[in-house]
Amino acid sequence: MTDEPHAELGAVPRHIAVIMDGNGRWARSRGLPRVAGHRAGIESVRVVVRECSDLGVGVLTLYAFSTENWKRPAREVNMLMRILREYLRREVAELVRNDVRVRAIGRIDELPGAVCAELRHAEEATRSCGGMELNLAVNYGGRADIVDAVRSLAADAAAGKLQPEDIDDDAVAARLQTAGQPDPELLIRTSGEARLSNFLLWQLSYAEMVVTPILWPDFRAEQLREAIREFGRRHRRLGGVQTADAAG
């Protein structure tokens, strides 16, 4: 539940995941290069991280760069990597002040060395923080996450450390990049698209999805709050039925 100053929101999700979409369209609508949209989106990241921390969200996962984004023009990819490094350099001290712990999820070791080093530095610098956990999904793909988990389980089974019949939902979840964290309860996607785009495919099984037409660079605290209000209006059955439905 929320603290009293945020009571009007109702129940705040323990874990919010965000697909930050629309940077390119935001820039194009203003006659600007795509990179201008990516840079403008950084302010939305700052706002959402701060607001989620203030609201008492336990985990926030931001989809920063997917395994499919390598298909984009090399110049754009290089600029995205540069912007990520700049964000981490500038914001780590603020994250520490706000007690936010960073976790990089994805195939991080496949990133350029300087980006990988910056992500690892952010993780180390915030390691002792005990507030909200901020997952930065970089070179992340939901299918790759599941494949890596299955490979890990198979290796243990081949080594005799694990029996195949012992592999269940909990065993798989424990090998995913988000191990130890609750699954997202709310997924927000900006720019009006209604796709998962290979994001947290296992973890989002029962998440409530809120799609907003707002482009990511225009997404602010009020849009976040409205998504949380919408989450509070949903009846979450999680595969079951409510009492009234069962009676019918």
Which residues form the catalytic set?
21, 69
Three-state secondary structure readout of 121-137: HHHHHCCCCCCCEEEEE
Q: Which of 59, 28, 60 is nearest to 44 (CA)?
A: 60
Would you put residue 33 in left (φ > 0), alpha (ψ -120 to 50) or beta?
A: beta
Structural element, H or E, at residue 18: strand 15-19
Q: Which of 8, 116, 107, 98 is nearest to 48 (CA)?
A: 98
Q: ∠99-105-110 over CA atoms, to 5°?
A: 130
Residue pair 19/199 in contact (Cβ under 8 Å)? The answer is yes
Distance in angstroms (rounded) separating the CA atoms of residues 200 and 143: 8
* Cα 111 from chain centroid (whole Å): 18
Residue pair 67/107 in contact (Cβ under 8 Å)? The answer is yes
Would you put residue 62 in left (φ > 0), alpha (ψ -120 to 50) or beta?
A: beta
